[in-house]
Amino acid sequence: MNQPFSFTNFDTCDNFAKEETIMKAKEEKEKVGEIEAEERQKSLIREYFESLVETLIIALFGMTFVVQAVTVPTGSMQNTILIGDYLLVNKFIFPPGGNPVPFFPQREIRRGDIIVFKYPGNKINPYPDIARGIVPYQVNYVKRVIALPGETVEFRDNNVYINGELLPEHRIIADPPRSFGDDGEMSALRIKSEEPRLPEHKWDVYYSSESMEAVKNGTYKVDPRMNFGVPGKIIKVPEDSYFVLGDSRDQSEDSRFWGFVHRDLIVGQAMFVYWSCDKTAAGDSFLGCLLHPRLDRIGKVIK
């Protein structure tokens, strides 16, 4: 006997097909989501890496052409710049070769500018540099420009004259003269007397011809590097060079000792103090400098 026709079987198959389609669509969606998440993660890592590279390039470009950080180890520029000051230097302000780039804030070097430059070296007497381990053209110095190319410098009666006119100077109160006894105590040493360890001997002393001539004439040879400080001597600054002086000139080794600074050695102009610490308390350690800051110096404009 024939059974009546039913749509149940067809409905069941249709439902299975729909569920299978839905499951496949869901799986594909999940796969797409996983792929998108993986791509987002890769994209995020790539963005971080690209940002890091860009930052390093910008920092390298800035340190090479725009700004540079330098430290001040001596007191030759007191009280304008103190020992323990960390300075930012504008390397872009002085145009190379004296030719400003159009539409950029550049200018010529002026008298009174505080500049950072590569130490030119003492060509007259290199021995102090050798003893202190200072390498010319690699160590940064900070001084004030007092004379420009073509100008004359004269030291007279403890004053500086530029082109015959008295130079207004940045003066500080100098430390009073001190002897060893001012900072410590001295007493007689009690040493037990013993027999001489070396037998008596007649020693021969040899003098060079220069020493004999000096003794004979009662003269003393002055170091040629001091010619820059001889009163009444007029010095003319050559082309493309500058005469620099420390604000604390009694404690400064500057153009009076090793001559002029050529333009090619000038790094830039000192801008401001971005960090400062008391080196007496901090010592030479980085951590000590962080723990003993001079907050009143931070942000000070150098002028």
The helix/strand/coil state of 276 is strand
In this predicted model, what pLDDT tens digit does every residue of 25-68 receive, in sequence order? 666 766 666 666 666 666 667 776 666 666 556 555 555 456 78
CA–CA separation, 148 vs 119, rounded Å? 18
- Tell me which residues of the chain have a pLDDT lower than 50: 7, 10, 64, 179-185, 220, 222-227
* pLDDT for res 162: 94
**For residue 71, what pLDDT is reported?**
84
- The pLDDT score that the predictor gives to residue 182 is 46
What CA–CA distance (Å, rounded) separates 232 from 29? 92
Report the C-alpha gap between 206 and 29 in whole angstroms. Answer: 100
Q: Phi and psi at residue 271, in whole multiples of 5°? A: -100, -65
Question: What pTM, to 2 d.p., does this model score?
Answer: 0.63
> Measured between alpha carbons, how far is 130 from 135 in angstroms, rounded to an integer?
8
Q: Are the C-beta atoms of residues 107 and 126 closer than 8 Å to each other? A: no
Query: Which has the closest alpha carbon to 261: 160, 114, 154?
Result: 114
**β partners of residue 155:** 160
